[in-house]
Structure 1
Amino acid sequence: MSAPIRVLICDDQALIRTGFATIIDAQPDMEVVGECGDGRTGVEMARRLRPDLVVMDVRMPVLDGIKATAQLAGAGVEDPVKVLVITTFNLDEYVYEALRAGASGFLLKDAPPPQLLHGIRTVATGSALLAPEVTRQLVGKYAARIRPVDEPAADSALTPRELEVLRLIADGQSNSEIAATLVISQETVKTYVSRILTKLDLRDRVQAVVYAYRRGLAT
C-alpha cells in the first residue's frame, strides 16, 4: 500500500478545521499532520512538517492565505508544497490571486465531503483542480486586469496547433471538449497539453490559463 496523503489544514475557524480534519482522517489514504489558524503559522508548519498538501483558507489573520501560498508554492520557491485553496464564492478575486501565487486549485467551503476528498487526491497527485466552468467565470472576469505584462513571450515556441489548444484551455475547455472541438483524440490533446506546459515551463493547466490571459491569448 502507498503512504497516505499527509495534509496540513490552515483555517482561522476552529469548527472548519475540526470538520475538515474529521473528514480527512476518516479516509484510509489520508492523514492530517497538523492544523493552524493563520498563514504565518501555516508556512512555518508546512516547512517543518513537509505535508503532501496544504488545505489553505484565503482570509486569515497575521498572514493571509494568498501570501502564505506564495511563500510555499510561488515562483522560485525551492521544494514547493502543493496548496489547495478553500474559499467562499464571493471571494473569487482572492482565489484568482491565490492561483497566481502558486495554488494548484480551489474548492468552495460549502463543498460536500466527497468533493473535498476528490480535490485533495487530485492536487496531491500533481494535477490541477480548476473546473472548466469556474475557469470561464473566474479568470475571464479578470481578463482585462491581468493581461499587461513586461516579461518576454515564450509562446513563440508553440506551434499553431499548440497555440490553439492553449486558447481552448484558457476558454475553460476540458480535454474531452478540446478533442471534440478540434476533432482529435483525447490522448492527442493530452500530448499537446504536456508539450505546452513543458515549452512554457508551466506547472499545470491553472498556470497555463493564467499565462494565456496575461499574454492576451484569450478573451
Structure 2
Amino acid sequence: MKKKIGILGGTFNPPHIGHLIIADQVLHSFQLDEIWFMPNHLPPHKQLNIRIANEDRQKMIELAIDNCSYFKIETIEIERLGKSYTYDTMLLLKEREPNVEFYFIIGGDMVEYLPKWYNIDQLIKLVQFIGVNRPHYSLQTTYPIKTVEIPSIDISSSIIRDKLKKGESINYYLPDKVIQFIREKGLYGCKSSN
C-alpha cells in the first residue's frame, strides 16, 4: 500500500499558525500519513522582497513543526536553488519515492493561478491537488482538485513581517519557538533580543 504524503509548499517567510492549521486539517480530512513542508528557493509567481537566508527559513519550519511527528520538512527545492517549478520538483520526488502517493496542497489564491502554472497539464497527472479556502479567493477551477474547508484565518507572512517592522506584537501568530528565533536573530527588522 502506498504511503499518502501531503506537500505544503511555500516561502514560509515566516511559517505561521495558518500554515500549521492547513496542514493539520488536510492531513486529517484525507487521512494522509504525513505532511511535508517544502520551502521553495525562488517561487516563479512571487517576488521575495524580504530576503531571509534559506537556513533561517528552514530552521523556523523545523521549530514550528518539532512537536508533531507527522509533520516533516522537505528541502529539495532550496537544495536545488534556481526557480522552484512544482512540475520539476514532483518529477524528482516521484522518482525518489516511487511508493508514495503525493497530494499537493494549495490555497485559493493558487487555485485561481493554476492555469498559469508551468506544465500544469502534466503536473495534474503526477499529483492530486487539494485546495484550501483563503479569504477573498475562490476554489472554483476546471482542474481536478479536491477541497477542504478550513477555519477562515486571515493571517499572512507579510502581515507578520509588517507587524515586526512596526514593533507590534506577533504573539499567537506563530509558535513561540519561532517568535523566539526571530527575536534572537533580529529577522524582519525586529530588534534582536541579545
- The TM-score range, normalised by the shorter chain, is 0.3 to 0.5
TM-score where L is the length of structure 2: 0.33
Q: Which has the larger radius of gyration?
A: 1
Tell me which protein shows more helix as a share of its residues.
1
Higher relative contact order (CA 8 A, sep 6+): 2
1 or 2, which has the higher strand percentage? 2
